[in-house]
Structure 1
């Protein structure tokens, strides 16, 4: 994929807890194949690059979320203009894998095989949940807990709650 460059602005989705985002114009979505299931490297103002994916916004447009920390690093706020470059994310999972989880996979063939059976979004969920804590020991503990829970679940019927070790919600 050839890098795609465009100008946009910072928006805010009040119904999603005030999430900030980069609006992706419909013509850019079309260049990406008109689909929203593509993982990308997102570069903002030639200053910050991160991994992300496009979510449908309506009328053919999409958006990529922008955390408060990234906004602060860039010195941007709601309404600010931004220059964006999108390139295809060629990484295996579309997000960095913590070394503690990688090490667990080296030691637990069954756990790694089970993880490989998950859909990419579920894999990213596990990776990001492990990476979300600063302590290496907590990353080890989370890795073990999630993979042990996963190994007990039926293939194709896993839920985030069950992988976390929580009961399914009753309707």
Structure 2
């Protein structure tokens, strides 16, 4: 079986930008041969650079017939002038970060200082950990990142283990209560 690439050995290839209308998302098709070079498995965390732009954290999702895809948001496409159907140069390499994406300094510091918050955060499935990281990272202001980190981690500590959901972590009422 092919080995996963070393973090310092990116895979480089050309592919097209497509759209999955059913899911309303743009994606980069990852050919079956590249999937095999990545170990032949899906749901792995990677770093991706398109046409030499700044890399972003992503996951490889199954597309069928051994192919995969990586979502490509309009927000990432617009600054580069990328269009559906366009051929692009892609570089992929293993994401060796602990959580599959960079942790904002404010959240990292909060978790260093709050033992119970850190313990509860580490008990979450990886997707929920990334949700918290992504939400905290989603604002430019350091104070707002800290406010979001405090809100999410404090609410997380109040929830019963195994019953964590995003609305509750955000301090919102359950959907059925709306």
Could you tell me the TM-score, scaled by structure 2's length? 0.86
Say if 2:11 is the partner of 1:4. yes
2:50 alignment counterpart: 44
Tell me which of 85, 94, 117 is aligned to 1:88.
Answer: 94
**What is the rounded CA distance, in whole Å, between the counterparts of 1:136 and 1:49 in structure 2?**
22
1:117 alignment counterpart: 123
Residue 65 of structure 1: how far off its partner (Å)? 1.3
Quick check: 27-36 or 139-148, which moved more?
Answer: 27-36
1:106-146 residue CA offsets vs partner (Å, 9 max, x unmatched): 22111111111111111110010111122222212111111
Q: Indicate if the aligned counterparts of 1:48 and 1:74 stay in contact, CA closer than 8 A.
A: no
SS in 1 for 2:109: helix
Say if 2:110 is the partner of 1:104. yes
Quick check: 156-165 or 103-112, which moved more?
Answer: 156-165
**What is the rounded CA distance, in whole Å, between the counterparts of 1:159 and 1:35 in structure 2?**
28
Aligned residues: 170
Residue 16 of structure 1: how far off its partner (Å)? 2.8
2:21 alignment counterpart: 14
**What is the rounded CA distance, in whole Å, between the counterparts of 2:65 and 2:163 in structure 1?**
33
1:70 alignment counterpart: 76
Say if 2:30 is the partner of 1:24. yes
Structure 1 stretches lacking a partner, 5+ long: none
Residue 47 of structure 1: how far off its partner (Å)? 3.3
Quick check: 78-87 or 133-142, which moved more?
Answer: 133-142
Tell me which of 158, 162, 165 is aligned to 1:156.
Answer: 162
Could you tell me the TM-score, scaled by structure 1's length? 0.89
